[in-house]
Each structure stands twice: as C-alpha cells, then as structure tokens.
Amino acid sequence: MIRLTEACTKAAAVAVVTTTLFVGCAKPTTPGAKATSPAAAPKAAVAPEGTASGKDGGIAVLIEKLKAADGGTDRVVVIDEIGAAGQNAQPALDALVAALADAEPNVRWHAARAIGLIGEDAITAVPAIVTLLDDADPVVVAQAAAALGAIRHDDGRAVIPAKDAEVYAATLEPLAKTLVHADPRARRAAIRALGRLSPSSEVLAPIVAKQLADADHAVVLAAMHSLADIGAPAVPFLVEALKNPSSRYWAEVALAEIGPAAAAAVEPLAASAAEGEIPERLQAILCLAAIGEPAASAASAVTSVLDSNEESLRLAAAFALGRMRSPAADASLKKSVAGNDPFVAAVAAWALARIHPDDKALVADAVSRLRKQVASDDPEARAAGVAGLTELAESLDDATRTELADAFLSLLSDPHRKVEQRAGAGLIRLGASGVPALRAKITDPALRLKVIEVLGALGTSAKPALADLIAAVGDADEEVRGDAAVAIAAIGAEAAEAVPSLQKVVTDASLPAGVRYAAVYALGRIGPSASAAEPALRELVGSDDELMATVAVWAALKIKPDDQELRELAVPRLRRALRGDREMVRLEAAVALGDIGAPAASAVPILELVAEDDPMVAVRAAAAAAVAKIKGS
C-alpha cells in the first residue's frame, strides 16, 4: 500500500487538507450536545468526593484554595476539582484564566482543560486560550486547541450573536497555524477543534492554504498523518475530498490508513477505481482492499478492472477482491488464475481461497502457487508469498500449518527485512501450530531472540514452550533473559510455575535493571498465583529507581488487587507512568488504574489526556476504557 510518507507536492498537500477538513464539515445539530473528547467531557460529571459540585459555595471555597495553593501539584489538584463541576464551575472562570499564565506547563494545560469543561459559558476566556496555541509546551497547545473546540461544540444556540461569532472566527487562523505544529498531539487537537468550529470551506480553506503554502514539506505530510490518525471521525471530510480532483489521491491515501473504519467511503472509492488517472485508480483499489469486507459492495467495479487490459491495475484488483471476499468476483478470478501472468494468477488463486475458505481444492491450489513464490529468488515475491499464506492460515489443515511453520522459521534469518518480518507475522498467525518448530530453535544462537519474540507475541498459545522460556530466564545472555521474562508475561496466569525463577531474578540486585523490570512485569502478569513473590515486590516499591518502584507496585497490586495500602501507593506512581517513554508501561498503567476504579479518580485528567494524545492507538484506547471504568465505578 502507498503510505502517507511517500512524496507529494505542496499544491496537493494544501488541496487535501483544506478540502478534507472544511468541505461538508457537519455542524452540531443537537442544541447543548456535549463533546466527547477529554477537554469536552459531559458537564454532568460527578465531582470527586469532598467537592461541592454545582454549588456556588463549594466553588467559592475551591477558588480560595486555588489562590492559597503553594506548589504546582497542589494547584493542579484544585483545578481538577473545579473542572469536575463542569458548567457549574463558571464562577471560577477568572481564576482559571489566571492559571493559564502559570509558570508551570502542567498547571496551564489543566486550567485549559477545566475551562473547556465549562463549555459555552466560558466563551469570554477564548482569547486567553488562543494565546496558549503559541505555548512552548505541546501538551498545553493540544489542550488549548481541545478547549476551543469544546467551548464551540457546547454552544447549542441556533443563532450565534455577531459578537460571539467574531470570537469564534478569531480562533480559526491560530488553529490553522497549529495544523503544522511539530508535535502530532497539537496537530490532532487542532484538526478536531476546527471540525467542531464548523466554518465554511470558503472561509477557512484560504486560511489553511496560507499556513501550508510555505510550510516545510515534511510538516505538510505530518499534518496528513494526523488527519489519518484521527480515524473514523475524519472519514466524512475525506469523502468530500474525493469529489475534488486535486485532493482525491491524498484523500485515498488517508482513507487507506484508516482501513475498515473508512467503510462510508466505499461508494466514491469505487467510482475513483473505475476511471481517472492510473495513480488515483490504483490507490482507490488499494484503499478498498484496506477497508476489506466492508467494501464488498464495490466488488463489481473492481472486477471490471480485473477484466480490463490495465496491466498495472489487475494485480491490485485481484488482491482487493480477495480482501473483500465477494463471491461475485468468482468468474473473473478463475479466468485470471488460468491466465498467462503467474503473479496475477497466484494472487487470484489466493483471492478465491479467501472467498471460499472451505473449498479444499481452491485452498490447496493457492497454497501451492504461493509456496512457489516463497521459494523465489525475488525478495518481494517471497514477502508476498508469505503474506498470502499467512492470510490463509485459518483455512489450512494441521499438517499444512506445521509445514508452513518450518518454512516461515527458516525465513526468520532472511537477508531482507520485509521477508523476515512477514515470516514472524506468519508464525504468530499460525498460533499453537508453530510452537513445536519454535521450541526446536529456541537455543539456536542465530535465531533464539527472534524465536522468543514470536513466542511472546503468541501469548497463551506459547504455553507448551514455558519450560524452555523458564530455562532461558537463567541464560547467561542478559538480553535473552529479559526477553524470555516478557514472553512468560504474555502467557500470564498459566505461567505460575515460572514464579521461582522470576523471583530469583527480581531479588538479584547484580542484574541489569532492564532484566529485573521484565521479571517484575512477568510476576504481575501472572497475578495472584505469584503471591510468593509479593513481599519482594513490596520491598521494591520503595526503590530509588522510579521505574522499578512503579512496575513493582503495579505488579504487587496485580497479585493482591484488593490491598488498600497498595492502591494508595500505586495511583500516584501509575499516573506518572502514563507519561513514560515505554508503550507497554503506559498501557499497563492505564489498565491498572481502570482496575483500581473509583479510588483512582485523581488520575482521570491525565488518563483523558493520554486517551487524546498518546502516539499509540492501543494506549489511547486503554486510557479511554480506564476513564469509563473509574467514572462508572
């Protein structure tokens, strides 16, 4: 698939961003509708225990507490209490606006968030928030943009008075400038905010074009990445962009990045696949392939391409039909299988096997053709063959899956990185069928790290290799020991017999910190069955090593989830862990806070921020789920 990182012209970049953002941008139709982003949470949010949400007297007390607060941490706590009152926090607006100028970035973004929670009643604060779009801290910028969008989104008045309309209009150019911010969090927030402000294309497109016209090439591409990263909410804008010839190609690229969630774009993509310039048609077909089965209604248009003389498009068409799994393409695919182009024939055979996974003859034919590709001297053919076989894994019998495991394992040492990666993915897709082959190579010096990595990705399916992994935890190679501990962690509760070996690693202060982190993490993933190690973990909670203390308290809490003392120790550390460099640490911290429930209410603001701006989709989802669990409990 063509990715957003490939080259584009500035003219095309301007066209796609201006068109996708502003043409047909739907305005909120329900008066008083509340935004769903962290900076626009429902105003009816329950205030933390001890605050007087909705009572002027309670807000007055909080205003005084904010004035008296000594350090930044204390100010943040009070600001969050004020923000929890939502619309009822309006009497504190002046105090919150003053906090926007605080010397500490943490205070500034919490204040911006709290103002956004007030909603339309905070419109007088808009100019002050706009100034934060130039803040040196990207989190502050992102939360300022989110707050601007939240205030406008909350404004359900059918007719906005001219004075207020001018206030909203004045935010457009600063937000457009933020589209090319160096930080993706700021870009995403600006895109969402512009969508909520709902300006007409005629008003905003020139402003955005002005910002992008002189922007660095890489920055423009980054803006497009951010558009695609928003996912499903960006699809309506991108569908409109497909109507504009100058932006069609880049809209297709962004929609392909979004994948199945872009199903609403299938009809116009089918039209783009049928006619136009070859690059646009090719990208439209690849986009339909990325959408997959939800794009089955476009099978007729793609089949016409397969039946055409457009050699540069036929391969992509066969691939897309296989991803769509539409039986309507059977006749054309069978014709292609019998054709003269062996590559197209192999892909067409694969497509038929995908469409009819229970047809043993079709599956066998596809496997035979794809295995010939895997044996090719051409690395691209090998990579494609492995990918095709991987997608057929669920249709294969046990004997064939075992044979493929051996073949994929041999490709883990392929000199071409793409082939190696595809082989690893194939082994993961084969699941338990590949474990015997992996176990046979776990002591092979050339492959052992890759084998352990694959076993870790298999999760509980790797249980038959647990004894091998336990042995690897005691290996002389420190990297092997750490990776083996992580693989054991993936097995989880079923890896209880690994506890003594892991505990030995945890208590050995002579080992590198990374190996011990991994062992602590594994004990936490094993859970209550690792209770023998809980005293050692509790001791590490007081470690001077911040990460060690955090992972230890998390693990101890996983082993003893009802321990109130551990909960109190865990929440502040897990809050800090949410801003760490390691994706897995952030993910597990979010999950753990959600599991703690209501006692983790103080972590809601930072969880909401992570749900909005973390670079990893999985972490954003985990943080959003944690917020829901904490508020629900």
Residue extents of the structural domains in the chain: 27-197
What's the confidence (pLDDT) of residue 585? 83
Average pLDDT over residues 473-480: 94
Of the given ranges (106-110, 125-129, 232-236), which has the lowest mean pLDDT?
Answer: 232-236
pLDDT, tens digit, 9 for 90 and up, residues 310-327: 888 999 999 999 999 999
Q: Give residues with Cβ within 8 angstroms of 68, minimum separation 6.
A: none
Confidence of residue 225 (pLDDT cuts 50, 70, 90): low
Q: For residue 37, what pLDDT band results from cuts at 50, 70 and 90? A: very low
Q: Can you read off the two tokens belonging to residue 220?
A: 């423009």
Reply yes or no on whether the pLDDT at 19 is more than 60. Answer: no
Torsion of Cα atoms, 515 then 520 then 523 then 525, to 10°: -100
The DSSP line for 18-32 is HHHHHTTPPPP-STT
What tokens does 258 get? 């979004």
Comparing 350 with 23, the larger pLDDT belongs to 350
For 540, phi then psi, to 5°, come to -75, -15
Could you tell me how far CA 537 lies from the centroid of its own chain?
A: 31
Q: Is the model's pLDDT at 25 over the cut of 80?
A: no
Annotate 313-346 with DSSP letters as a single string: HHHHHHHHHHHHT-GGGHHHHHHHHTSS-HHHHH
pLDDT cut 90: percent of the chain above it: 63
pTM score above 0.85: no
pLDDT at 364: 95
- Which DSSP letter does residue 6 get? S
Residue 14 clears pLDDT 50, i.e. is over it: no
Q: Mind listing the pLDDT tens digit for each residue in 483-532? A: 999 999 999 999 999 999 999 999 999 999 999 999 999 999 999 999 99
- Whole-angstrom CA distances from 230 to 23, 238, 325, 503 are 17, 11, 27, 42
Tell me the two tokens of residue 396: 């294969």
> Domain 27-197 is in which class?
mainly alpha
Q: What is the mean pLDDT of the chain?
A: 85
Average pLDDT on 402-421 reads 94
With both helix axes pointing from N to C terminus, report the angle between 417-430 and 398-410 in degrees, rounded to the nearest 10: 150
Question: What does the radius of gyration of the chain's CA atoms come to, in whole angstroms?
Answer: 28
Contacts of 240 (CB under 8 A, 6+ apart): 19, 20, 23, 24
